[in-house]
Amino acid sequence: MMAARLPLYLLRLVKKIAARVLIVSGLDSLRYKRDYKRKKINGDALEDPALVDGYKDEGEVERVEKLVELILSQVPHPRAVLDIGCGTGRYLRQLQAVSPDSVLEGIDISAEILDKYARPMVPGAQFHALDIETDRRFFRRRESSFDLICLIGIIQVVARRKVRTILRKVHHMCNDGGVAYIQFNVETAKKKSSCGYRRYSVEEISALLEECSFQVIKSGRTDILADYAYVFARKHPATR
Ligand SMILES: C[S@@+](CC[C@H](N)C(=O)[O-])C[C@H]1O[C@@H](n2cnc3c(N)ncnc32)[C@H](O)[C@@H]1O
């Protein structure tokens, strides 16, 4: 009996070890990155960005409205805003509606999502197709350029070991006193979200932000999004 169970046990063990190796090496996020980069958007979904696969998890228009309200409660009149991993541009679209004087820019790794959704949906905003993990040119050119930088639902799809590097880039691009807004799948008993994304605790993200010379100004869970948490952090003046 015991002998019969041994191969099953070994198989499970090998699977567990392989999953661990993928997470630690960051190779699992390469899969998301590749999927997003090659994302093909089906025609029916074009009517409604909430239907685009991979963008459903953060809910519909009313939720986006409430979250933008939350963001603007901390940064009421941002002159320049960057949304990293902007996807369909739905947050920028809402920002444009309620803060029409803000200059808006978005970054996404998927050129297709920017062309099909973000550009038509947010006229006047600038969009850049690039990989925030590996980009050097954009962030170097945009030192101290933004009052508000949003990372909504992106931290959980990039490699864990790359998060610090990305936050340093965010710090570099924030104005003195500028604010970073990070929204992410929060840690629960389940290791991964329903889409398979990794989760972080508020403490983990706050500690990373502080390591990158930000000061956390507000954080928490939101009843707007059951599975998510957020952290607002301000760039310390005179930290470059
Ligand atoms: C879960 S979606 C969230 C999209 C958007 N923030 C929203 O809530 O509607 C994650 C987004 O991050 C983008 N993304 C993933 N890895 C990226 C990278 N390395 N650089 C730039 N964008 C990336 C994906 O293409 C996708 O649009």
Domains of the chain: 3-235 (3.40.50.150)
**Tokens linked to 76:** 């009421």
Angle at 56 between CA 166 and CA 95, to 5 degrees: 65
Cα 1 to ligand 1 centroid, rounded to whole Å: 49
- Give 210-216's long-range contacts (Cβ < 8 A, gap of 24+): 211/164, 211/167, 212/164, 212/167, 212/168, 212/170, 212/171, 213/171, 213/239, 214/167, 214/171, 214/180
For tokens 């309620």, the residue is 98
Q: Which atom of ligand 1 is nearest to the CA of 197?
A: 1
Average pLDDT value for residue range 46-68:
67
Average pLDDT value for residue range 181-209:
83
- pTM for the full model? 0.84
- Give the three-class secondary structure for 128: strand
What pLDDT, on the 0 to 100 scale, is given for residue 53? 54
Q: Which residue has the higher pLDDT, 34 or 72?
A: 72
Residue ranges in 83-125 assigned as alpha helix (H)? 90-98, 111-113, 119-121
CA of 15: how far to CAs of 11, 19, 27, 192, in Å?
6, 6, 15, 16
Cα 110 to ligand 1 centroid, rounded to whole Å: 8
- Give the three-class secondary structure for 134: coil
What pLDDT, on the 0 to 100 scale, is given for residue 195? 63
Average pLDDT value for residue range 39-56:
56
Angle at 110 between CA 109 and CA 112, to 5 degrees: 155
What pLDDT, on the 0 to 100 scale, is given for residue 14? 83
With a pLDDT cut of 70, the percent of the chain lying above it is: 76
Strands (E), 87-191: 103-108, 126-129, 146-152, 174-185
What pLDDT, on the 0 to 100 scale, is given for residue 51? 57
Q: Taking CB atoms and a 6 Å cutoff, what residues make up the pocket around ligand 1?
A: 33, 36, 54-55, 58, 85-88, 90, 107-110, 113, 131-133, 152-154, 157-158
What are 78-133's pLDDT values in tens digits? Answer: 999 999 999 989 999 999 999 999 999 999 998 988 998 899 989 999 999 999 99
What pLDDT, on the 0 to 100 scale, is given for residue 188? 73
What pLDDT, on the 0 to 100 scale, is given for residue 171? 97
Using an 8 Å Cβ cutoff, are 108 and 87 in contact? yes
DSSP H or E segment with residue 219: strand 214-222
